[in-house]
Structure 1
Amino acid sequence: MRRIIIICFCAQFCSLWSLRALADQAVLVENVNGYTLNADGDLVRFSSLLVEAGKVSALDPKSLPDSNLVRIDGKQRTMLPGLIDAHGHLMGLGKNLLQVDVRESASARDAARMVADYVFANSQQQWVTGRGWNQELWPDKAFPNASQLDEAEPSRPVWLRRVDGHAGWANTRALKIAGITKDTPDPQGGQILRDSDGNPTGVLIDNAMELVEQHLPTTTTEQYAAQLEAAGQHLLSVGITAMHDAGVERSLYDFYLAMAAEKKLPIRIYAMISATDPDLDKMLNLGRIRSLDDFINIRSVKAYGDGALGSRGAALLEPYSDAPEQHGLMLTQPDQFGPLFNHIIGSGFQLNFHAIGDKANHLALDQFAQTFAKLGGQALRNRIEHAQVITPDDLERFAELKILPSMQPTHATSDKNMAEARLGKARMKGAYAWQTLHQSGIAIPLGSDFPVELANPFYGLHAAVTRQDRNNQPVKGWYPEEALTLEQAFRGFTLDAAYAAHSEDTLGSLMPGKWADFILLDQDIFAIEAQDIWKTRVLQTWVAGQQVYSAQP
């Protein structure tokens, strides 16, 4: 009965939405250097694309409509399907584009200077918020402290999330508002960093961040709209036409539905409901939602296993090599795994579980196996988000259990400066193991985890193929045996990403019957040196047969 109610609800809900207004004319984009994938994942080349009613009608058509045909000269530019980022944070990106960005800071004091500059230009804001610091890139590699931010802004609260989103840096005013003192205990799954006297330093790890973030002003609809516009335009400019939003709370869930109903979503969104939201059950009871125009698709839940490697929050089976007293943090306690997995999968929703450390991955795989034995649910295409550090014995279990490892190639090239120190050389055998997982036969959806990493998917393609940063370091690649081929990486950002969202029927390639989401590039990524892939520039982006972005000359 529950499944019938869900299907009927979706049918009623979606019937209220008409397709986006599409041009009456058929469109022939000809004289292109086109690449796509067929249903088997094989690379297909073409020179012209016929679009009718927003969908691909034919590749290299042998016959054309008699009237209302618009012909566009592609000028031999390379055409690809619109790329799909399988793990990002849309409003996090929008917020990042509109607040202080300290990603390029050279030290804690440099980050504080950036805050001071931002404060000068934005004096009306109640809180000063930002993101992007990474102590591993600073000369001393030391965590920052509140006093450094106090020099930039002592009177208003300042809160800066670490680049990975798993730690935050507060000034003294923010700590006082949160009531954090020497006597404040560490919350379960979180840590308050302290000095030698036990006083809070200003850095909060994982669940401890909520002590401050619960005091942040509530985001208004107008702010959501500004963030959506900023993020959407940025993604379209780099060739992303669809993304999987990893962790959507109720207010954002409602906002997305409203924007979809008004046909105001700039890109296609596969939204993962946040497992920690108090309204989780209410959203589950609304059932799966997929709009007729495929701009919104909700049938999954994002849950949180552990923290991140850079802040030593990733949960490890053995201690950190560079901090023998630490094992990382479990954000969801192991005794909560069974009820959580059973509830989500039993509700017919895909479970996408954040796991970075080998302990979190191991426990998640164990629980998936137990839940499948009890309830079934393998067909939901459940995922482990990040799957970064895996004990070698667990690598083959992904394919055995049909768990999709949703991975982000630029994490490896960003983490290479600290990962081996955190893990030791022995544990690197199961870390960032893309090719090993690919060879096991499982689909690997790829993304960036923006705004943790930059959203440009060509950075991700480059990292996947070369295992190098954009300075071509290290020369032979970082653990190059785990690099993907370009075709494998291309599939990860297209067909495999669509499959991971149950949308390979309409997205992920430019085969007839699918939406005409495509991009035109300034170079052929399949013909250039791999080290130059990241330099690729998007000239045009089209969604449902309509041009939505054009690069400035």
Structure 2
Amino acid sequence: MTTIHRRAARSPRPPLRHAGARARALRLVAVAALFAACAPAAPGLAVAAALSPAADLVVVGGTVWTGVDGAPDARAVAVRDGRIVAVGSEAEVRRLAGPETRVVDAAGSMVVPGFIDAHVHFVDGGFRLSQVQLRDARTPAEFAARIRDYARTVPAGTWITGGDWDHSLWGGELPRREWIDSVTPNHPVWVSRLDGHMALANSAALAAAGVDRAAPEVEGGEVVRRADGSPAGVFRDNAMAMVDRVVPAPPAELNDRALDAAMRYVARQGVTSVHHVGGWGDLKVFRRAHAAGRLKTRVYAAVPLHTWARLADTVAATGRGDEWLRIGGLKGYVDGSLGSHTAAFHQPFTDDPTSRGLLVVDPDTLQRWIGGADAAGLHVMVHAIGDRANTLLLDAYERVAARNGARDRRFRIEHAQHLAPSDLPRFAALGVIPSMQPYHAIDDGRWATAVIGPERSRGTYAFRALLDARARLAFGSDWFVAPPTPLEGIYAAVTRRTLDDRNPGGWVPEQKITVEEALRAYTATAAYASFEEGIKGTLEPGKLADLVIIDRDIRRVAPEAIREARVTATIIGGEIVFQADAPR
């Protein structure tokens, strides 16, 4: 059982124990930090402790994975003023405890640096927690019934959004507005496919948007039509703007609630920092929460790439932020998604020889934006899914870097999903970070081979090949698209066992990586991917006291058992923000 208490000054107090039966007890973690700065022997640590104020919190009784090369394991960690002050043996760390020190007994569990989710749509994820849930709807009838039932819970005229449907679950047929028109006559419906690159509108939403059979085609998108030319309800990529523009923006109060819900949810998963990709409106939400002292998750917030000049002015006027909220990143797009058949490939889709996908931004325009942003000293990260999209983006990065000159720019490719073999070594050569989402591999792996064939599948989510080519691999979730659950992501990267369990040996098994490699991608390298490796990503003295306790050492269990592991405590800045046994 997890034990947390303050060290008694004179008369001992019983430790504070939270009720609740758990299969595995929480284990205290402690990492000896004064080792490096002080004398190498234990007495050096003791002397330093005697001359310093007592720790605010110590974690003992666990196995600490520090993430530090050459010194990965310790037994305990001490925290003062929101930062780590020691990492080492339990005896050494306990010497730093005083009368008011909070002691966390990890009881044999594993302690790791706080997980950093390197790609989320954070506010949207918070909203998705309360919107209609379509991700696991397995038939058109169930799809329609869930929307009908949700519509009954909200006032007439309310837009029904979210959804995250997956048409592969019912055989691949795209939904049509007729499926839901009869059950939503008084509610505009605009529900997205789980990847966010397609959405379905009902007739009420089309009427509100003024979209009919005269709707023009859109470069970088598609209006799916009936035989008579009228919209069938599904819009792809850039065409989605036809309806997006009339969806009312939620009020500030609902945005704040969505952020609070998102922070609570990811804390339960051990996520202490996120790299958010979204709009300027989201940045307002984060700033409001920061000013009110409500931020419980550290945020690196990126805004749209085409607004780079505005961001440059903002950074010049206000700086890049602090340890809770940072700016300076820009997110762009090359193509769409595999599931929507809008990812850009060199060769046609295997299941649709008439299409090679699409580009959502003209390559010359994209390169101009990247070049301007990079020249302004901003951080560029661009979405690329198909192998052609990745080639085009690497080409653009190479040209911009050559023109603007050498600097520590850390260009990122978000997803880097399907790679041509010749592009694999270019990531390390150009210093480009593949920012990838391992859960997608075990999700898309259920059907991707049918879409692109076995040969191209070998370069899909090529974790092993990228690491072997010395690329710096950063992991995230793409929440709301996939769950923000790093332990599931680690399971996915290590096993590549698809969600339908039809690939017990792993889909494209040669791309598996080790547990420690996956842990590093969620911690140290993810911190590097936001220029924050100096303050987070490993458990070392001086770094932020962001750490997670897991109910077992996931390095010591069968790979298939990683998905059974659970986060039992999440600590951010030395404060316990989630504890599994705590009453709610």
**Same fold (TM > 0.5):** yes
TM-superposed deviation, 1:290: 4.1
Residues 314 and 449 from structure 1, CA distance in 2 versus in 1: closer, same or farther, beyond 3 angstroms? same
5 Å-filtered alignment, 1:84-483, equals 84-123=116-155, 126-138=158-170, 140-246=171-277, 248-276=278-306, 280-287=308-315, 289-292=319-322, 294-376=323-405, 379-470=408-499, 472-483=501-512
SS in 2 for 1:396: helix
Checking the alignment, whether the CA contact within 8 Å between 2:157 and 2:188 is kept in structure 1 is no
Cα deviation for residue 429 of structure 1 reads 3.0
The secondary structure found in structure 2 opposite 1:539 is strand
Q: In 2 relative to 1, CA 489–25 (structure 1 residues): closer, same or farther, beyond 3 Å? A: closer
Distance in 2 (alpha carbons) for counterparts of 1:118 and 1:68 = 49
Structure 2 residue 549 is matched with structure 1 residue 527 = no
1:45-82 deviations in whole A, cap 9, x for unaligned?
A: 11111111111101126342666433332222221111
* Residue pair 1:470, 1:534 contacting (<8 A) in 2 also: no
Tell me how far apart the structure 2 counterparts of residues 486 and 547 of structure 1 sit (CA, whole Å): 25
Using structure 1 for the length normalisation, give the TM-score: 0.91
Q: Where do 5+ consecutive residues of structure 1 fail to align?
A: 1-22
Q: Which residue of 2 aligns with 1:20?
A: none
Q: Which amino acid aligns with 1:265?
A: L
Q: Deviations over 1:302-359 (max 9, x none)?
A: 0011100000010111111111111112111112122111111111111101000111
Q: Give the match for residue 540 of structure 1.
A: 569
CA apart distance, 1:128? 1.2
Moved more, 494-503 or 151-160: 151-160
**8 A contact 1:348–1:377 mirrored in 2:** no
Name structure 2 gaps, 5 residues minimum: 1-52
Q: How much does 1:112 deviate? A: 1.3
Partners of 2:267 and 2:577 within 8 A in 1: yes
Q: For the residues of structure 2 that align with 1:377 and 1:385, how far apart are their CA atoms? A: 22
Letter in 2 for 1:422: V
Q: How far off is 1:132 after superposition?
A: 1.3
> How much does 1:186 deviate?
1.4
Structure 1 pair 386–163 and aligned structure 2 pair: CA distance change class (3 A): same
CA distance in 2, matches of 1:364, 1:431: 17
Whether the 8 Å contact between 1:472 and 1:531 is mirrored in structure 2 is no
Residues 399-431 of structure 1, C-alpha deviations (whole Å, 9 max, x = no match)? 111110101111111111221121122222322
**Contact 2:110-2:550 at 8 Å conserved across structures:** yes
Residue 538 of structure 1: how far off its partner (Å)? 1.2
Residues 1:101 and 1:376: Cα distance change in structure 2 (over 3 Å): farther
Bigger Rg, structure 1 or 2: 2
Shift of 1:24: 8.7
1:124 positional shift: 5.4
CA distance in 2, matches of 1:461, 1:25: 32
Per-residue displacement from partner, 1:4-28 (whole Å, max 9, x unpaired)?
Answer: xxxxxxxxxxxxxxxxxxx995222
1:536 maps to a residue whose letter is A
Q: Number of aligned pairs?
A: 524
2:104: which partner in 1?
72
Of residues 258-267 and 82-91 in structure 1, the stretch that sits farther from structure 2 once superposed is 258-267
Query: Given the superposition, is the C-alpha separation of residues 171 and 124 from structure 1 closer, same or farther in structure 2, using an over 3 Å criterion?
Result: closer
Change (3 A) 1:50 1:552: closer
Instruction: Report the aligned-residue RMSD.
Output: 1.8
Deviates more, 1:218-227 or 1:281-290: 281-290
Aligned ranges for residues 31-70 of structure 1 at < 5 Å?
31-38=61-68, 40=69, 42=70, 44-60=72-88, 62=92, 63-64=95-96, 68-70=100-102
Distance (whole Å) between structure 2 residues aligned to residue 166 and residue 197 of structure 1: 24
Shift of 1:503: 0.4
CA displacement at 1:154 relative to structure 2: 1.8
**Secondary structure of 1:269's aligned partner:** strand
Specify the code of the residue in structure 2 equivalent to 1:195.
R
